[in-house]
Amino acid sequence: MAKVSVAGAGSWGTALAILLHNNGHEVILWSVIREEVEMLNEKREHESKLPGVKIPEEIVITDDLEKTLTDRDLVVLAVPSPFTRSTSRSMKELVKEGQIIVNVAKGIEENTLMTLSDIIEEEIPQANVAVLSGPSHAEEVGRGLPTTCVVGAKTRETAEYIQGLFMCPVFRVYTSPDILGIELGGALKNVIALAAGTADGLGCGDNTKAALITRGIAEIKRLGVAMGAHPETLTGLSGIGDLIVTCASQHSRNRKAGYLIGKGYTMQQAMDEVQMVVEGVYSAKAALALSRKYQVEMPIVEEVNKVLFEEKSPEEALTELMMRVRKEETLWES
């Protein structure tokens, strides 16, 4: 049994706290929001974010950060990506040398273009930072439905330790040294999912969805390889695996926000309707900036940005993508 803390009591943090408890570990679940802590302690259920999933009484729910971080074998950082830096900064003085922090959020910081693990390492340099990602909607993990994920770490020892804590009959975990590739796949797929949802909102069909997923992974792979990621990571669980589920699932907040935009909602109206952080909106500008920095063509990402931030209509964006200059999928031999 390990002593594990989960920082962030949203749907994903809560689901992972339950998973880790069911695996036999001693779990603390932390939220910065006092009202959320009181509600979870009273109802033992996150009715708005994870309805129908009961939180075992043995899981300690608190807003005491010192209690959450002191004498813990592992800390899971599960706050939404826009709050990764501020939360890491508040944790810095309480994290011991070499303490393992596993980031499970997905995003890229817009103004610095840093991945979330880079942010954590900058704010908490003494931490041993790892990442966990893959096709894993909280609604299904919380109910014990099977899935597979990948953990990335700097050493095999750290990755296999985390693998052992999380792995169980309903949560299979692979390991990888490619932290960068895992994070890029997890962040960029949210932008593509906005496009897939928008196509759904426009009334497009399964063919359109399949095309967006396929060309979306091509964009993600081009950028990832240019930045130094391994191509197999981006066609693995944290790349195409997470992309498929985020583009297709009823649980996907990014797909839902895109769907509403396709129906005529503004970006802000869609985010208000979803009532949770839509990570793809926060990663879209960063994805576009990275494509330009590394001189990588990412037309879907570019059109998503125009729809989100330049008032371009989804119909115009779709036509723009369909009528781009003709291309080869596989290069012809000269």
CB 257 within 8 A of CB 278: yes
Asked whether the beta carbons of 151 and 131 are under 8 A apart, the reply is: yes
C-alpha separations of 136 from 23, 156, 237 in Å: 17, 23, 10
Question: Residue 322 and residue 69: Cα distance in Å, rounded?
Answer: 51
CB neighbourhood size of 314 (10 A) = 22
* DSSP letters spanning 56-115: PTTSEEES-HHHHHTT-SEEEE-S-GGGHHHHHHHHGGGPPTT-EEEE----B-TTT--B
Q: Residue 43 in contact with residue 65, Cβ under 8 Å? A: no
The one-letter amino acid at 252: S
> Which 8-state DSSP code applies to residue 325?
P
- 256 noted as active-site residue: no
For Cα atoms 241, 101, 290, give the angle at the middle one, nearest 5 degrees.
55
Q: What tokens were used for 200?
A: 């759904």
Phi and psi at 236, nearest 5°, equal -105, -155
For 38, the 3-state DSSP assignment is helix
Phi, psi of 54 (to 5 degrees): -85, 140
Strands (E), the chain: 3-7, 26-30, 60-62, 74-77, 100-103, 128-133, 147-152, 171-176
Among 49, 189, 256, 285, which one carries the catalytic annotation?
A: 189
Would you name the residues annotated as active-site residues? 189
